[in-house]
Each structure stands twice: as C-alpha cells, then as structure tokens.
Copies of this chain bind each other. A is one copy, B any other.
Amino acid sequence: MNFKLPYIPERQNKPRTNGLTMVMDKGLSIREAENIISASNEYIDFVKLGFGTSAVVSGVEEKIRTYQKANIKVYLGGTLFEAFVVRNMFSDYLKLLDKYQIDTVEVSDGSMSMKHEEKCSYIKELSKNRFVLSEVGAKDASIVLSSDKWIAMMEKELEAGSKVLIAEARESGNVGIYNSNGTVDTNLIDKLLSKIPQAKILWEAPLKTQQVWFIKQYGANVNLGNIAPNEIIPLETLRLGLRGDTFFNFLPENLKEMKLTNQ
C-alpha cells in the first residue's frame, strides 16, 4: 500500500505462504516483463510461461532471469512438461530445466491422459530438488471428475511432494472448477476445502467474476492464478476491498450502513 487506510485486509510480504498470485505470461518481451515487475512486483508470487510459449518466444532465458531477480518463482507451463512426456523424453525435460536454471516446475495432465501413479512419480522425482506445483482437473470439458476423485488425487499429490495444487480452469476459465458458462462449481469447491487446506490450493481464476467470487467466499488471501499481466493490480484492489465488488467486505459492521443492495 502506498498509504495507510484502516480495515484493509492484511497481506503477507513475499515470500508468502498464502494470498498467492500466479500470473500467466503468454509471450511477453523482456521489456514488458520489466514493466509488470516495476508496477506490481510485490503482488506477483509466480509467473507461468504459459503452455509452450517458452519454446518459441525470443530471449526466454534473459526473461526467466529477469523474473527470478525480482524474487518471482517462474516456471514453464504444464503443457510443455506433457509435450516432453508424451514423446517419452522426461529426462530431456530435466536437462531443459537445468539449462534454464529453473527451480520451480509444474506437473500436469491437462492435455493428455496419464495414469495417476505415473503423475505422482514425476512429482516425487521433481520434488527432490525443485518446488513442484501440480495441476488437478482435466482441460477437456467432457471429463467430469467426482469431488471424491479430486480429493483423492490431491492428497496423493501432496504426499508425493507437491507444494501447491493448482485447480484447473484453463486460460478461458470454463472447465474444471468452473461450469461451461464460467460460473464457479461451488459444491465441488466446498467439498475440496473440507479435506484440503486452503493454503495448499491455487485456484485458476482468469475472469474477474471468478476472482470476486473466491475473495468474497474465502477472503483476501485466497490463492489465485492465471491472472493476465494487466489484471495484477486490479486483482490486488479486489483483495483489499478497494474496488466496488468487494468494497464492504472487510469493513466493520458499524461502517456498513451505506451498503448498496446486492453488494
């Protein structure tokens, strides 16, 4: 905060253990990466170099270094991990991580099917010397998982060494934890949180309505991901109650008289 105001929710400083924000970089130039760092570095915990963009964007190693120097954990999109796995080239993926000097890695099975034991063995192997995020929930809208299945998988992945479970929504925000129209599957999420600690789950929430829903439901320090670069600052204002949608959420009762209907 640039100045003090009362009744603003507390946020941890980096490195944080809750209230994490993961930003999706779909191919920024180095200078654009510097721009978002200069405006919003303290609010960025992770940057994902989305899907296979790290394979094609120019200057990727310098960009990775730029993020790392700003104390941002940067990792390659899970789709790239899968592109190596589907080609039976997992050991080459490890070499790539070494070459790029990346200590954070996502394990996912959103673009291909994979036995869950196999997925967990990748998590186990990678978590020996890296910070592992693992993504749960298929990218394919036709695959519906029961909440028990979600929970069982989440527990096994934590056990295997995953530090953060990413609840899949895809860039468009209409699969996994969301219904096809982008609204949240509240029933599913309640069940997940009855068994898994909130701090362990990072919810992909590319749409503002989804961010608002999670903040109203689970507070300022819910973990949110797939945030577009130009939505980092707006998201932070939502977390702090400095935007219409969450304006009254963190105020004490005696200041709520002026609340609007439906707020």
A contact residues vs B (CB 8 Å cutoff): 1-3, 5-7, 26-32, 34-36, 38-43, 50-60, 79-80, 82-84, 86-87, 89, 96, 99, 110-114, 138-143, 170, 230-234, 236-237, 240-244, 247-248, 251, 255, 258-263
Q: Is the CB of B86 within 8 A of A233?
A: no
Picked from B58, B99, B111, the residue with its CB within 8 Å of the CB of A40 is B58
A30 CA to B99 CA in the complex, in Å? Answer: 33
Q: Is the CB of B40 within 8 A of A35?
A: no
Q: Is the CB of A247 within 8 A of B111?
A: yes
Leading 6 A-B pairs by shortest Cβ distance: A52-B242, A27-B233, A29-B39, A29-B35, A111-B244, A112-B258
Q: Is the CB of A237 within 8 A of B38?
A: no
Q: Is the CB of B242 within 8 A of A140?
A: no
A60 CA to B1 CA in the complex, in Å? Answer: 11
Interface of A is mostly: loop
B residues in contact with A3, CB < 8 Å: 55, 96, 99
A244 CA to B113 CA in the complex, in Å? Answer: 12
A230 CA to B96 CA in the complex, in Å? Answer: 25
A138 CA to B112 CA in the complex, in Å? Answer: 41
B residues in contact with A54, CB < 8 Å: 2
Can you list 27 contacts pairing A with B, beta carbon distance less than 8 Å? Answer: A1-B55, A1-B56, A2-B54, A2-B55, A3-B99, A5-B89, A27-B232, A29-B38, A31-B34, A39-B58, A39-B59, A43-B56, A50-B234, A52-B242, A53-B234, A53-B237, A53-B242, A55-B242, A56-B237, A79-B247, A83-B242, A87-B251, A112-B258, A112-B259, A138-B260, A141-B262, A143-B261
Rounded to whole Å, the gap between the CB of A171 and the closest CB of chain B is 9
Known: A260-B140, A261-B140. A233 touches B57 (CB 8 A): yes
Select from chain B the residue with minimum beta-carbon distance to A243: B51
Q: Is the CB of B1 within 8 A of A140?
A: no
Known: A27-B233, A56-B233, A237-B51. A5 touches B87 (CB 8 A): yes
Q: Is the CB of A247 within 8 A of B7?
A: no
B residues in contact with A39, CB < 8 Å: 27-30, 32, 57-59
Q: Is the CB of B244 within 8 A of A51?
A: yes
Q: Is the CB of B27 within 8 A of A234?
A: yes
Q: Is the CB of B244 within 8 A of A139?
A: yes
B residues in contact with A255, CB < 8 Å: 86-87
Q: Is the CB of A247 within 8 A of B36?
A: no
Rounded to whole Å, the gap between the CB of A245 and the closest CB of chain B is 9
